[in-house]
Structure 1
Amino acid sequence: MKIKTRLGREVDVNEDYTVDQNWEHFTDEEHDRWDRLYARQEGMLEGRACDEFMEGLHSLKLSDGGIPRFDELSARLKEITGWTVVAVPDLVPDDVFFDHLANRRFPAGNFIRPEAQLDYLQEPDVFHDVFGHVPLLANPTFADYMEAYGKGGQRAAGRGVLTNLARLYWYTVEFGLINTPKGMRIYGAGIVSSKAESIFCLEDQSPNRIHFDLMRLMKTDYRIDDFQQTYWVIDSFQELLEATYQDFGPLYDELEANTTVYTPDTVLETDKVHNHGTQAYANAGGRLAKAAS
């Protein structure tokens, strides 16, 4: 079937919205862009990203030169945790996304950001998806969490709570922090693929850092256009997995009965707070407001 991407391109896709990666369509300049992004992020993530991410980054050989070939990457990943990587031309519908995750397939954008947007891209490209997400899929516990999330999404589709479930994905898979014996570290893909936010989330006093609480998190809005005002912190991937290995029915009942939504900067007395942020960055207008001034 044919779809139109958000960039206005018409693309033929399979029923599950996948496409052939057609690795040959990437230009030398695009492969070079991947290599430069990889080198920059790998160097600054030492001591900032969790060990599990760095181990996956190296064991999957994402620095072999240029944008990875998905067939070769999938073969390595499948041997470790049973996951594969499939190419998609754009974001896919929720039901398709959940089906891929539930069957241990990770959909990755089949394009790379332009040079002018090297530091910030709102759409998830191949660098965000593969560099940011795939390394942790080599960790068995996190791989199980991602499968559980996909299956949970399938069950939630008819309950009207997909917004709440999206918050769980956003604040964990995309922008999560983890406590380790070496200190607080990054595991969220949206952070590890961003040089500026990798520094901001750990070292700036502006954002809140609050300990993971499933219901509280699912009632909290997030920013899609700038750095987060709150980051949620787990103690282990096992904690995250156990939180999702439960019957979400009673949680959905509570969400439907209590429609309270917290703003991204909210701190409650009942929160376990690692850092009560000043919110100075957000109050000053943030990155995008400064860029426009």
Structure 2
Amino acid sequence: MSEYHNPVMLSECIEGLDLKPGGIYVDVTFGGGGHSKAILDKLDGLDNPKSKLIAFDQDDDARENADLIENRSFTFVQSNFRYLKKYLRLHGIKQVDGILGDLGVSSHQINEPGRGFSTRFDGPLDMRMNQGQKLSANEVINTYEQADLHKILGQYGEVRNAKTLADAICKARSSRSINTIFDLLEVIKPFAPRGKEFKYYAQVFQGIRIEVNEEMKALEEMLEQSAELLKSDGRLVIMSYHSLEDRPVKNYINKGKFFGEVEKDFYGNEIKPFKALNRKPIVASDQEINENNRARSAKLRVAIKI
């Protein structure tokens, strides 16, 4: 499992969940199972047969990792976490004690050329986290209108010359379809700032990936459901890797909404479901960053259900 994905800030995540005997917990991003396995080890040590961990992941490879875990407290759900409430209800669970989310793409997905997440390898333009879905990066690049590509690259990829790049993609595909990673890189290379090429490529790929998987919408839906599902004093522990993910998490924890200011009742009390336990996000230690480069951009936020 560690070869699949080395979990970032593992001890901080487990501490944030504040695991209790007999508690019900959810790992909404199972991946290689690193966080889930640590949760189960801790729950086993608390020695209460009522303890439960339900893990979500839509990826087929994650399903194979989950099949390796033999623990009576463990249940795996192969689904996007945007359906959190639905599947918990199907398992007879109405409220939980803690929810953990490690957002972003797993190391395994990035390092698998056939998945199309990385600029380091040639492969199909895929980028689907759920390989059963229809929409892929190929369809986005080859069929989306220029205005939509402009929006995706600018909003989700934070690409400064998004309009120019969207125009270039549309012109390139008019002569031949863009089917592989290297096909796309050939189109975008001339527009990358000198000396910052790899950062630029990463931004472009991030924008496309977020669109393919509806990541921002799914994240918002999961956060809203977490407010309904968590018991009073339950913990929400979310780790993100870029500002687009961190911003809605921060806003929802601090304001109970994704945009605008926090609402107040007649007496001036703030109306929001969570209280942040850390004013600033928790970041990885220098030692962990040296050992795992992925930890460099990680931000961990912990909140308690009011």
Query: Same fold by TM-score, threshold 0.5 exceeded?
Result: no
TM class, shorter-length: under 0.3
User: Under a length normalisation based on structure 1, what TM-score does the superposition of the two structures give?
Assistant: 0.25
| Structure of higher CA gyration radius | 2
User: Under a length normalisation based on structure 2, what TM-score does the superposition of the two structures give?
Assistant: 0.24
